Structures are given as structure tokens and as C-alpha cells.
Amino acid sequence: MITMQLFQDVLLVLAVLIGMTVALSAVMLIAPSVSKPARPSRPPRGGLRRDLPWQPEPQPEPQLQLDTEEDRDRERELMLV
């Protein structure tokens, strides 16, 4: 007799927990459609999205200069000294 009452109580508690879970899930699903949209005069919660920081443009690569004989001679002189 006591085990049957205990079993019924456990089933009742499980049913209540499942019912509360379903109710909470339903409220969470319905809440976005029922809530008021943000007015234009007031920004949405969380503030405004700030502009992204300015990205500097990459500098163009310098053009390669061809070595002249004078440059090669200077390098040789520097290396010999």
C-alpha cells in the first residue's frame, strides 16, 4: 500500500516537472513574437553597432630597380674595404 502511494507520488512529481518544462519552453518560443519591436527613436537593447575600425590600405610594393654597373662597383668597393 505504501509503495503504491509512493509510486503515484513519484509519477505526479514527474508529470508536474514535465508540465513545467513544456510551459517554460512554450513561453520562451512565444516571447519574441509577442515582444514589442524597438522604436526608431530608441536603439535596441545592447546599443548600436559601432563602425568597424578603419582598415589602412596596403601600401603598394616598391618597384624593383635594376642594378647598374656603378652600383655594383660601389658594393664591391664597400666589401673590399
Domain ranges within the chain, ordered by starting residue: 1-33
pLDDT digits (tens, 9 = 90+) for 9-58: 999 999 999 999 999 999 999 988 887 766 666 666 666 666 667 777 88
Pull the grid cell for residue 80.
673590399
- Residues 67-78: what's their mean pLDDT? 66
Higher per-residue confidence, 29 vs 63? 29
Residues 6 or more apart whose Cβ sits within 8 Å of residue 38: 44, 45
